[in-house]
Structure 1
């Protein structure tokens, strides 16, 4: 898992400001700040560039880096002792009342509008959220914003999307149209798609095929992330 604290410490060790690194990466200072504040994590391209700027291996930014590095420096006998101790801790954890959580990587800069529509952003970073249940069968996870799909899909939830085309009328899809991404029920008609909200306060919309709408995928699940993790 990406470690924001390791990135900040190494940057400060080099005497660089957030803006210095943002300029090197050709991104905004705000985008870089989101990495150190834990709001988003760098994609692989930016991780590689950060490693080069700060003269460290790419794996340096993983929170497990110190654990692995220290383990490799142990003697063979002490490595066995360390493994046994970790197994004891895991067993103790499994027998306690700790509720397991499952991580999900969510697109930070793409929001599925359950309202008027949100645009695409220049960077496609991800952030880690947690669910009480393990999530299966999806390819993309993205935030939901707005109330047009309530009461089923709530603003602040994460939508789980399986990348595929249009399957059948009345299913809920993520749809890209005019530089915005929507989550709506879709019905295919002769000249386009009819986009329908669950919240009756929102009118239906017609999207002509000539606008070149793109089906991002079928919404196969949704959940409210666990807070305070």
Structure 2
């Protein structure tokens, strides 16, 4: 089981022990229900500040969120004595550290394990078929989704950071809610936004219309300007000089998360 899934299962277990809903827990640690859901599914890594807040709330230690250290020995005779001794030294030393320093030790160990697994996997793989580990890029992330449908408020939303295995020159990332931009964009996709007010006919962007944020295609013709949906079951939204309307930015890419 991946570490994020393990931690997510623990968050869910401790939440249910406290008889809290995802919404109630989100309110207690000042985040959103969607974020709690992603933590529990393992789609998103809980940072140290979140884990500190959860450990205080659940009356648990940081270690309670992580899997126990395996005591399984390898069959090699010299390592039977060396591995337990090394683990004992690591445990004895790290147990004396503050929680923040323990997390640094954990992150280092995870990185080493990941590199070790990558090397081991490569030994059993034909060189031409090796798939490189994707490089993660960090983006400003607005957890409140923009609507590909009926509209969703975007202002006054807390900005966070998200890491994704794609590289775009974007100013921020937001999730989509709704199906009005299918088949090009789907509900749950992340879209990458470049701030700009200079969009032309046919460009797809994020627009604020009477306080709600929409992901639409901008159409300009002899009949006027419209926010157009790619899904034919949705009507266009006409805009004019009297409309409470502004362009936020252009969509320069998208990413569909893998279902867990």
**TM-score, normalization: structure 1?**
0.59
Structural mapping, 1:71-110, within 5 Å: 72-73=90-91, 87-94=115-122, 96=125, 100=133, 109-110=144-145
State yes or no: 1:120 paired with 2:153.
yes
User: What are the equivalent positions in structure 2 for 1:91-170 lying under 5 Å apart?
Assistant: 91-94=119-122, 96=125, 100=133, 109-113=144-148, 115=149, 117-120=150-153, 134-138=166-170, 139-147=172-180, 149-151=181-183, 153-156=184-187, 158-170=189-201
Contact 2:176 2:191 in 1 (8 A): no
- Gapped regions of structure 2 (runs ≥ 5): 71-86, 94-104
Q: Distance in 2 between matches of 1:223 and 1:181?
A: 19
Relative distance call for 1:85 and 1:118 in structure 2 (3 A) is: closer
Instruction: Tell me the distance in 1 between the aligned counterparts of 2:216 and 2:119.
Output: 45
The answer (yes or no) to whether the contact 2:144–2:174 under 8 Å persists in 1 is no
Match of 1:161, SS? strand
1:175 to 196, 200, 207: 207
Equivalents in 1 of 2:88, 2:13: separation in Å?
19
Aligned 8 A contact 1:195 1:206 in 2: yes
| 1:10 to 1:157, Cα distance in 2 relative to 1, 3 A | closer
Query: 2:253 aligned to 188, 203, 221, which one?
Result: 221
In the other structure, the counterpart of 2:83 is none
**Higher RCO structure (Cα 8 Å, ≥6 apart):** 1
TM superposition shift of 1:119: 2.6
Q: Which has the larger radius of gyration?
A: 2
Matched with 1:17 is: 19
Q: Hey, what's the Cα distance between the residues in 1 that align with 2:248 and 2:64? A: 31
Q: Distance in 2 between matches of 1:136 and 1:61?
A: 37
How many pairs are equivalent? 212
Deviation at 1:172, TM superposition (A): 0.8
1:140-162 alpha-carbon deviations (Å, 9 max, x no partner): 13125214x344x1333624222
Q: Is the 8 A contact 1:157 1:223 kept in 2?
A: no
Q: Structure 1 residues 71 and 213, CA, compared in 2 at 3 Å: closer, same or farther?
A: farther
C-alpha distance in 2 between matches for 1:9 and 1:177: 41
Deviation at 1:45, TM superposition (A): 7.8
Instruction: Give the Cα–Cα distance (whole angstroms) in 2 for the partners of residues 7 and 218 of structure 1.
Output: 36
The answer to whether the 8 A contact 1:164-1:217 is kept is: yes
Q: Which SS does the other structure have where 2:217 is aligned?
A: strand
Which of the pair is proportionally richer in strand?
Answer: 1
Residues 5-40 of structure 1, C-alpha deviations (whole Å, 9 max, x = no match): 23234456xx52215992771889977973674288
